[in-house]
Chain A
Amino acid sequence: MLPSLLAAASGFTRPALDWHAFAPEVILVVTLVVALAVDLVAGEHNKGLVASVSGIGLLAAMIPLVTLALDDSSRVMFGGAYVVDDFALVLKGLFLVAGYLTILLSTNAIAEGDYHEGEYYLMLISSILGMTIMASSRDLISIFIALEMLSIPAYLLASWRKRSKTGIEGGMKYYLMGVFATAVMLYGMSLIYGGTGSTILTEVGASLGGSFGHTPVAALGIVFTLVGFGFKVSAVPFHNWAPDTYEGAPTPVTAFLSVASKSAGFVAILQLVFIGFGGQSDIIRPLMFILATLTMTVGNVIALRQTNIVRLFAYSSVAQAGFILAPLSVISAGNAGSREQVLSSVVLYLLVYTVVNLGAFAVIITVSRRTQSGEITSWGGLFTYAPALAVCMGVFLFSLGGIPPAAGWFAKVLLFKAVLSAGTTGAYAMGVIMAVNSVISLAYYLGLMRTMFMDDVPDGDVTPVKTPVPLFAAVGLTVVATMVLGIVPGLAADLAKGATFAFLPGR
């Protein structure tokens, strides 16, 4: 049997594998296996070992990223389906850092009270593995596989508190919306494949430049495909799941979903918009204009009347997604300079937003360990009994609102610059909408500041907040990074500017 099969398959040659380019993913897979084995042998009160192994694995996976960056050549595999270029390296770094910070946020919260501690880290690592694959995918099939690889564990993480009604409700909403969006996205991809005859993004882009690109079917395919990722980044009107899921899931998972999962959606959108649908900017511009405007405005306005801190941050993250989508509403196929600006400003904003939002969630987790409440009123007078935490939270809120010297201001300035430099009427309209929304967002960011610094402590209890070591490390790392990036903005800006796509042909 075997020899005949081998004889029949004699025409098959193994595609060249570049193990160096694969090294971060391979390390993550090995970590996954080792963590599984450790989970198997570790005793019930020893599950913290799994967290340590996972954290070390994530840090180890960053080493090949550095060696690949020093090597300074883009690597193409599988006929252009899998590309390791500067864009992929920067975004993989972002996902690994976000994953490591999430583990720091999780260790205490998951060990105390929630169940299935060992499995939690396995799910987390496999979701991060999907994200690192997403950063390199330049092919409709591998984008789909990466999306599922990061989503399926995320569905499980979101419904982790399966024995509480709200916990499973959040997971259910996330799952149903996610699967529905994926199905619609696949239908769009099948239309694009049918019209272009290829799944490789560079070839899709070339075919869409021909006669097929002007047919309604192509427009339908592009819109459906992008809408599928609109769900992932919680763009309005596909945001309904976000507040409920964020409230129902364990808070570290919320932090992970609002940052890493969202960034992965943006990575896919950037790849599709810049490589696959690069020539179809007359379809993408109005779509992104509508999505960005709705997302910013609805997110900000609903955030104004939230009383629960996690829901406040859920709507804040919806609004931030609108800001990140905004520059995509001005891209044009002919203007290469503007396209570069759009790409680097979006990547920079993703980098800054990841650090800042994870930091804010680290403070939320630390404080809610003591107050045992998600209500904003319970944050009253935080400054009197936990001045350091209150100041850190202030830095993160300033950064999210775009006030110097915290990192967010520079990222926001670059977003405005990328939008306005396009110079069209739509661009100026978008600039005005962004400016108005920045002001609205300040209202609730500064409202939370006022509660922390001015209000009285609600129950008069001023015992200091205990900060466990992992949470202390997470808050410390993110607050230092936020200040450094705000005062020396060149550091991250250069990184983002270097994160360009390698438009290498396949084969």
Chain B
Amino acid sequence: MLLNQFLLLAAALFCIGVYGVISRRNGVLVLMSIELILNSVNINLVAFSAMTGAVTGQVFALFVIAVAAAEVGIGLAIVLAIFRNYRSVDLDDVDLMKG
């Protein structure tokens, strides 16, 4: 079983996603980076599930996919509202409150 390769792929995706969330300033790209992290979670879950033969991990992955869709739906709505108010989706512009 090639479990290690899957886990390495997932870890790499996770790191790329975290880097994207921290370094990207465009709201939509940050959302995509979060999707990368969630997909690394799915790869992990399905790989572990295939290793043990239990379906729990696959059920977990299905829940993650469904909930991620709902989350991104709300995220895009918020980004849209940000664009209407600020005429930009650059997160550095969205920083009126300080202190």
Binding site for B on A (CB under 8 A): 140-141, 144-145, 148, 152, 155-156, 159, 162-166, 168-172, 175-176, 179-180, 182-184, 186-187, 189-191, 193-194, 197-199, 243-244, 247-248, 306, 311
Contact = CB atoms under 8 A, between A and B. Distances in A.
A175 B63 contact: no
Contacts of A306: 99
B82 A145 contact: no
Most buried by B among A186, A243, A244: A186
Given A183-B41, A194-B44, A172 B82 contact: yes
A405 to B, nearest CB: 34
A197 B52 contact: yes
Contacts of B95: 169
A175 B95 CA distance: 15
Summarize B's interface: helix, strand, loop or mixed. helix
27 contacts: A144-B60, A145-B63, A152-B74, A162-B85, A168-B81, A168-B82, A169-B95, A171-B78, A171-B81, A172-B79, A176-B75, A179-B34, A180-B21, A180-B34, A183-B34, A184-B37, A186-B64, A187-B41, A190-B48, A191-B44, A193-B48, A193-B60, A194-B7, A194-B51, A194-B57, A243-B99, A244-B97
Contact of A199 (B37, B56, B71): B56
B44 A190 contact: yes
A183 B17 contact: yes
A170 B97 contact: yes
A466 B39 CA distance: 53
B9 interface: no
A179 B71 contact: yes
B66 to A, nearest CB: 9
B63 A141 contact: yes
Given A148-B67, A163-B85, A169-B94, A193 B74 contact: no
B99 A194 contact: no
B97 A175 contact: no
A247 B45 contact: no
A127 to B, nearest CB: 13
A505 to B, nearest CB: 17
A243 B95 CA distance: 13
A144 B63 contact: yes
Contacts of A159: 78, 81
Contact of B74 (A140, A145, A175, A184): A175
B40 A175 contact: no
A168 B78 contact: yes
B81 A162 contact: yes
B56 A243 contact: no
Interface string B12-24: 0010011001000
B74 A156 contact: yes
A312 to B, nearest CB: 11
Residue from the set B30, B40, B71 with the largest chain A CB neighbour count within 10 Å: B71
A172 B97 contact: no
Contacts of A193: 45, 48, 56-57, 60
Nearest to A169: B94
B45 A169 contact: no
Given A168-B82, A187-B14, A187-B37, 5 more contacts: A175-B78, A184-B37, A190-B60, A194-B57, A198-B56
Contacts of A164: 85
Nearest to A180: B21
